[in-house]
Amino acid sequence: MGIVGEYQDKVKKKWNDNGFTTDLLTLGLGLSEEVGEVSKAINQQNPAYKLKGNEIPYVLREELHDVLTYVCAIANAANIKLGI
């Protein structure tokens, strides 16, 4: 099992332990929101989203983590095993 599969298993355990939703519509909407936050972190040209210097890599890392978590949760809810 690769690193993605290991992470997917951790997400599944966390989702189960905390009683998080497995509803695909809700997860899809959550993923959409997180992808929007990644876009905001990248969009340095728009003053409304401009972050100070080294905040961008930190915020981007956190938002990408959220996206990966939602991708794994969706795969788990659909009984799809991810792997590379």
Structural domain boundaries in the chain: 3-77
Show the beta-strand stretches assigned E in 9-62. none
Residue 30 has what pLDDT? 96
Structurally, at CATH architecture level, domain 3-77 sits in Orthogonal Bundle (1.10)
Average pLDDT over residues 59-80: 93
pLDDT band at 22 (very low <50, low <70, confident <90, very high): very high
Q: Give the separation between CA 57 and CA 72, rounded to whole angstroms.
A: 22
* Statement: the pTM of the whole predicted model exceeds 0.85: no
Q: What is the mean pLDDT of the chain?
A: 86
Tokens of 16: 């189960």
- Which of the two residues, 6 and 49, has the higher pLDDT score? 6
Residue 18 has what pLDDT? 96
Q: Give the separation between CA 54 and CA 25, rounded to whole angstroms.
A: 35
Over the stretch 24-59, which tens digit does the pLDDT of each residue have?
A: 999 999 999 999 988 887 776 566 655 565 566 677
Q: How far is CA 9 from CA 2, 4, 12, 48, in A?
A: 11, 9, 5, 37
